[in-house]
Amino acid sequence: MKNKLQAYLSLHFCVFLWGFTAILGKLINLNAIPLVWWRVFLASATLFFLIPRRKLLSFSRKLWLRLILIGSLVGVHWICFYAAVKLSNASVAVATMATTSFFAAIAEPIITRQKVKWYELGLGLLILPGMALVIGTINWDMQIGFGLGILGALIASVFNSLNKEVVEKYSPAPLLMSFVQLSAATLICSVFIPFLLWHTPETRLMPSSQDWIWLLVLTWLCTLLTHYLTLQALRHISAFGTILTINLEPIYGVLLAALIFREDKELGPNFYLGMLIILLAVFSHPFLKSFFEKEPIQPPN
């Protein structure tokens, strides 16, 4: 990607694809942990045949450890996300991801050893009422799913900030970086599976024939392609800017859930007000960054 404009356009395309992840998670008839295991296993297995594996030998020990840590966090994040889908619904799960920007406004400066940017913290806080308006009133029987979604959002803010640091410090090839991270995610999910089977022995691990179709879509389009494009975009956009753009995912996700699953038979004024708040925060970020940091404006669309 040659500039920030291309990076933002690429990232928005990824966010559109991510809007389908909760939908696919609901269509796939597997528990959250087996679902994530198959997703990351298929993705890492595909990359195994695509990457120049010898170049992995050039990675330093520190880089290996960082990529394994990030990949493990990615795996746990996805487990939390799909558990939120299963325990609540697709709309609630994608909407909780909007809190990631608030967490990132704090996590990124700590991890990258920079000062807190108060305008980013303010935009992160602005997202919260927008998210609340989008999801509406959550039934209390969905509170566990909602809590897991929030935990997943916190973890996402951490691994996105760590990814930004790795990209800037080591500049590894995105496909090699993705392979190591997704392989680590596969390993961490493998650790959870025995505990899942001990707790619920009846859990089905093998996908059905219909599940395979959705799993391949989830793997190749919503995982491999988006993971690669996001890592490319991080070379030009801050981790916070990336995460703030990703807050458009609840808009796509809730609309798709309403359309496909009829989770919201009517989208009232509160939904559109919440959507407007999220859009305002997303599209104002480059302009505020230009104003406070004296950079040329690069609009995200």
Residue 273 lies in a domain: yes
Average pLDDT of every residue of the chain: 83
Where in the sequence is the domain holding 155, given as residue range(s)? Answer: 4-293
Q: How many CB atoms lie within 10 A of CB 178?
A: 25
Which pLDDT does position 226 carry in this prediction?
Answer: 86
| Measured distance CA(203)–CA(51) in Å, rounded | 34
Q: What share of the chain is helix, strand, coil (3-state, %, to 5)?
A: 80, 0, 20
| Measured distance CA(198)–CA(207) in Å, rounded | 20
Q: What is the mean pLDDT of residues 12-39?
A: 90
Residue 301 lies in a domain: no
The model's pLDDT over 254-284, given as tens digits with 9 standing for 90+, comes to 777 777 877 655 456 777 787 778 778 777 7
Which pLDDT does position 251 carry in this prediction?
Answer: 74
Residue 299 lies in a domain: no
Per-residue pLDDT band for 301 (boundaries 50, 70, 90) equals: very low
The model's pLDDT over 28-87, given as tens digits with 9 standing for 90+, comes to 999 999 999 999 999 999 999 999 999 999 999 999 999 999 999 999 999 999 999 888
Residue 300 lies in a domain: no
Residue 213 lies in a domain: yes
**DSSP readout, 32-51?**
HHHHHHHHHHHHHHHHHTTS
| Measured distance CA(39)–CA(295) in Å, rounded | 39
Residue 195 lies in a domain: yes
Residue 30 lies in a domain: yes
Is residue 240 classed exposed, middle or buried when 0-12, 13-18 and 19+ CB atoms within 10 A define those classes? buried
What secondary structure letter does DSSP report for 3?
A: S
Position 250 pLDDT exceeds 60: yes
Residue type, 262: R
Q: Mean pLDDT: which of 145-149, 274-278, 284-288 is highest?
A: 145-149
Structure tokens at 240: 């916070």
Say what the pTM is: 0.81
Residue 222 lies in a domain: yes
Report the number of distinct structural domains present in the chain: 1
Q: From the CA atom positions of the chain, what is the Rg in Å?
A: 19
> What share of the chain has pLDDT > 70, as a percent?
90
| Measured distance CA(263)–CA(232) in Å, rounded | 34
Contact 237, 163 (CB under 8 A): no
